[in-house]
Amino acid sequence: MEKNVKYLRSFFQSAKMCNLQPFEIRINPYLLEIDMKYHQLPSQLFKKNRSKFMSKMKSGALAVFNSNDIYPISADSTIPFQQHRDIFYLSGVDQEESMLVLFPDSSNPKHREVLFLKETSEHIAIWEGAKLTKEQAYELNGIETVYWLDQFETVFKQMMSEAEGVYLNTNEHLRASTEVETREDRFIRKCRNDYPAHQVHKSAPIMHLIRSIKEPEEIQLMKQACDITHLGVNRLLNFIKPGVWEYEIEAELAHEFLRNRSKGFAYTPIIASGKNACVLHYIENNQQCHDGDVILMDFGAEYANYSSDLTRCFPVNGKFTERQKAVYNSVLHVKKEAEKLLVPGTIMADYHREVGKLMESELLKLGLIDQTDIKNQNPDWPAYKKYFMHGTSHFIGLDTHDVGLWHEPIKAGMVFTCEPGIYIPDEKLGIRIEDDLVVQESGAALNLMAEIPIEVDEIEAAMNA
């Protein structure tokens, strides 16, 4: 428990150092004993998140959020459980078969925030591990009304008899693939069938708005994930040498992440040496690294379900060639200039256009394109896209590609990656450099990965120390 209290003290100190607004928390010894891999989070965070969501709801409506399923593989095998980020954001509950109902206008004060949990038992504790009790759930998130899940139909019917509308939580991420039916999908279908006369509203626009602007506690959790990622980088600096295999590098990272309270990678890592670096989503990680190659590594640790997302490129033999250095420094220059544009009021479409102009200038210097290419380019696919074909930034938070409103101006408290790249298949060279940045009310964005080596000289010195 003493270690947990020390952690929470450092939590506040870090938030102060980041120039973040203060927040309140009451340290409860019982809370600190809840069995989680990561340090227990402050309940105040989830109270604030629920308050933000409910303030955006229409009068007379309630909202329902479901946990994810445990997905089967085959036989009795399953994929390790990953909680649906929305119910976690609002409640901190990190277990399956959970439901949250928010009904701020309920005539019954006990039904304005209601959590439904899988009933725990000695049998479940022996075979699966203990689940949350009602008392632990309250300590976790401040929700006073907790029912067991088998009471849901009865209680929900009472609530819906008073409600005029219901917010349903569909996945509206721009990159979402919805081929697999989720627990949320099944509930939505049943709710529409059982209550056809109720007005239906969408939770997604509200969640995209409020989740995109991080609370100080969230930024600190993301910093923790970035710090664990930094430890992984340090482990690689003297490990990468000619002859090492990509999967060995992946294994080193996994070891470092797990031993620092992370569940592992925030997303499938890319460990791409030589020509593999020119495949944007290369995840095989099964090739040997050769003398003279540059290895592109795109990875990040998660912590308490929050993501980090880093890309670094290291010379396998510890020293860049002059050409590799020139391409690397061009990408680094674009990144530094792009970061200056991540300020409140910026429109992301304009941002990406400006970054394109920066990249065009660098590609001209490198001799990869010329003025004729620019003169004859397709405006919908400019000449620079031949070597830099992806976007520069995306929201990051509970999801690596986090939710957010792309058409709205950038606001303080939003967190973005910044990851320009140049890919030259003919030279078997791909360079991408990426950090995670918090938009500030004024001044430069706060780089959560500022301590991780990024300059050519830094990388070479660290690899040859």
Q: Cα(302)–Cα(309) distance, rounded to whole angstroms?
A: 9
State the burial class of residue 29 (Cβ atoms within 10 Å of its Cβ: 0-12, 13-18, 19+): exposed
Give the Cβ contact number of residue 270 at 10 Å.
22
Looking at 183, 211, 239, the residue that finishes a domain is 211
Catalytic annotation present for 123: no
Which of the residues 309, 339, 360, 435 is marked catalytic? 309
8 A C-beta contact, residue 300 and residue 267: yes
Residues 43, 236 contacting (CB under 8 angstroms): no
The CATH number of residue 231's host domain is 3.90.230.10
The residue among 185, 211, 237 that closes a domain is 211
**Burial level of 219, CB count in 10 A (0-12/13-18/19+)?**
buried
Domain for residue 25, yes or no? Answer: no
Q: Are 262 and 303 in contact (CB under 8 A)?
A: yes
198 as an active site residue: the answer is: no
Tens-of-pLDDT digits for all 465 residues of the chain? 444 444 444 444 444 444 444 333 333 333 334 557 899 999 999 999 999 999 999 999 999 999 999 999 999 999 999 999 999 999 999 999 999 999 999 999 999 999 999 998 888 878 878 899 999 999 999 999 999 999 999 999 999 999 999 999 999 998 888 789 999 999 999 999 999 999 999 999 999 999 999 999 999 999 999 999 999 999 999 999 999 999 999 999 999 999 999 999 999 999 999 999 999 999 999 999 999 999 999 999 999 999 999 999 999 999 999 999 999 999 999 999 999 999 999 999 999 999 999 999 999 999 999 999 999 999 999 999 999 999 999 999 999 999 999 999 999 999 999 999 999 999 999 999 999 999 999 989 999 999 999 999 999 999 999
Confidence (pLDDT) at 128: 79
Q: Are the C-beta atoms of residues 98 and 117 closer than 8 Å to each other? A: yes
Q: Is residue 20 domain-resident?
A: no
pLDDT at 16: 45
Report which residue type is found at 123.
H
Same domain, 194 and 223: no
267 counts as catalytic = no
Q: Contact, 316 vs 291, CB < 8 A?
A: yes
Which runs of E-coded beta strand occur in 188-260?
199-202
Same domain, 176 and 235: no
Q: Mark whether 333 is an active-site residue.
A: no
pLDDT value, residue 21? 41
Q: Is 26 a catalytic residue?
A: no
What is the pTM (predicted TM-score) of this model? 0.91
Residue the block writes with tokens 């952690």: 7
Q: Same structural domain for residues 167 and 274?
A: no
Helix (H, G, I), strand (E, B) or coil at 216: helix
Residues 228 and 79 in one domain: no
Q: Which of 139, 399, 432, 436 is catalytic?
A: 432
Statement to judge: residues 305 and 421 lie in one domain:
yes
CA 83 remoteness from chain centre: 13
- For residue 222, being part of any structural domain is answered with yes
Does the annotation mark 434 as catalytic?
Answer: yes
β-strand pairing of 145-148 with 77-78? unpaired
Of 302, 423, 435, 436, the active-site residue reads 423
Same domain, 104 and 59: yes
**CA 14, CA 370: separation in Å to the nearest integer?**
47
Query: Residue 266's closest CA among 89, 175, 400, 173?
Result: 400
Q: Are 207 and 313 within one domain?
A: no
In-domain check, residue 51: yes
Structural domain boundaries enclosing 362: 216-463
Q: Cβ distance 102 to 201 under 8 Å?
A: no
Would you call 419 a catalytic residue per the annotation?
Answer: yes
For residue 58, what are the contacts with CB-CB under 8 A and spacing of at least 6? Answer: 165, 201
What's the chain's Rg over C-alpha atoms? 24
CA angle 118, 122, 123 (to 5 degrees): 80
Residue of 118, 114, 103, 100 whose CA lies nearest to 145: 114
Active site annotation includes 298: yes
How far is residue 225's CA from residue 462's CA, in Å, rounded to a whole number?
A: 22
Domain harbouring 136, CATH code: 3.40.350.10
Burial tier of 350 (Cβ tally within 10 Å: 0-12, 13-18, 19+): exposed
Catalytic residue list contains 457: no
Measure the CA–CA gap between 436 and 306, rounded to whole angstroms: 12
Residues 6+ apart with CB under 8 A from 377: 383
394 flagged as catalytic: yes
238's CB contacts (< 8 A; 6+ apart) are 463, 465
Residue at a domain's end among 211, 239, 263: 211
Query: Looking at the domain assignment, is residue 19 inside a domain?
Result: no
Q: Give the torsion sign (CA, 6, 12, 17, 18).
A: positive
What tokens appear for 401 in the block? 């590609």
Residue 14 lies in a domain: no
Of these residues, 298, 360, 402, 435, which one is catalytic? 298
Question: Is residue 225 one of the residues assigned to a domain?
Answer: yes
Q: Considering its fold, how many domains does the chain have in total? A: 2
Q: Does residue 33 fall inside a structural domain? A: no
Do both 202 and 255 map to the same domain?
A: no
Q: Are 121 and 82 in contact (CB under 8 A)?
A: no
The pLDDT of residue 127: 85
The two structure tokens encoding residue 348: 């992301």
Catalytic residue among 255, 390, 408, 455: 390
Check: CB of residue 296 under 8 Å from CB of residue 432.
Answer: yes
186 and 249 both lie in a single domain: no
247 an active-site residue? no
